Amino acid sequence: MSDQPLIQVEHLAMAFGTRKLFTDLSFTLKQGDFFCLLGANGTGKTTIIKLLLQQLHPTAGTISFNERLKSAADIGYVPQFRNLSGDYPLSIKNFISLKLCNSFTPWLSQREKQAVTKALQQTGLTAKQNQRLGTSSGGEKQRAYLAQAILNQPQLLILDEPTASLDQDAKYEVLETVQHLNQVSGMTIIFISHDWPLVKKFGQHFLELRAGSYISGSTTELQLKKEDENV
């Protein structure tokens, strides 16, 4: 089973009314991959994610999921925007625990506490767990969002432009954490980004959506293709 792809997308098409976003899109997401989804605004990156999360239904084509993705808890998702102000009161640890909401007791069980502790360790936030999220740096905030997304130790982690508003150091801080989750914890990653250098450094495979078409391959090819374009 481990050799089977995590997700197999075949001849996928999506249109909203008369506007076709993409047609005949096929790709395979292998287990353990660090897969980067690229493309200009409006080409359909977020739509693909919504299709994978089964929040939308495709106009045509199929998406096959490996048995490892049998429940929603097997997919962790970090959305692009979060509206948390500087005076947000909760600590990083308490923010992460918010996701544990399928219980009637107001306090966390031992098992839930262990899940939070593990997520804090995996994202390198153990020492900062009692710090207020509102006053944390951009990189720390993104790592806290990551920690919340991986509380259930998902098979697949989807990140929607997590580095968009960060400075260079913070971008590397976040991506190194994601790389650690990919390599040490074995999570498969889908990383949506506009940042080509980050994709080249951390990604393994890519799919770039263009108006009406797409290209895909390994990120080393992406590097060659971009260099060719610059010649």
Partner 1 sequence: MFNFAFMRYAFAAGTAVAILCGVIGVFVVARRLPFMTHTLSEIGFSGAAFGAWIGWTPLQGMMVFTVLSALAADQLGISEQSSNHASDSVISAVSAFFMGLGVLFLSLSSQNASYATSILFGSIVGITQQNVWQILTIAIIVLGILALIYRKLKFDSFDSTGAETEHVSRHWMTLTFLIMVALSVSVAAQIVGALLIFVLLTLPSSAAQPFCRSVGGLIGLSIVLALIGTWGGLYLGYLTNWPVTFFIATIETVFYLLSLAYRKLNESA
Which residues contribute to the site for partner 1 (CB under 8 A)?
A: 72, 77, 79, 81-84, 87, 89-91, 94-95, 98-104, 106-107, 130, 132, 145, 148
Nearest Cα residue to 94 out of 157, 148, 52: 148
Query: Residues 6 or more apart from 127 whose CB is under 8 A from it?
Result: none
Please say which residue, 32 or 79, places its beta carbon nearer to partner 1. Answer: 79
**Residue owning tokens 């951009």:** 138
| 3-state SS, residue 221 | helix
Q: Strand pairing partners for 77? A: 158
CB 212 within 8 A of CB 25: no
State which residue, 41 or 130, has the beta carbon closest to partner 1. Answer: 130
Residue in this structure with the two tokens 């190194």, named with its chain if needed: 176
Least distance in angstroms from the C-beta of 101 to partner 1:
4
Q: Which two tokens stand for residue 208?
A: 């770039």
Q: How far is the CB of 221 from partner 1 (least distance, A)?
A: 32
Residue placing its CB nearer to partner 1 in the complex, 146 or 181? 146
- Looking at the Cβ atoms of 84 and 215, the one nearer to partner 1 is 84
Q: Which is nearer to partner 1, 5 or 134 (CB)?
A: 134
Name the minimum Å distance from CB 228 to partner 1: 38
Question: Least CB distance from residue 149 to partner 1, whole Å?
Answer: 8
First to last CA, the chain: 43
- What's the token pair of residue 49? 């994610």
d(CA 100, CA 62) in angstroms, rounded, equals: 32
Query: What is the smallest separation between the CB atom of 83 and partner 1, expressed in angstroms?
Result: 7
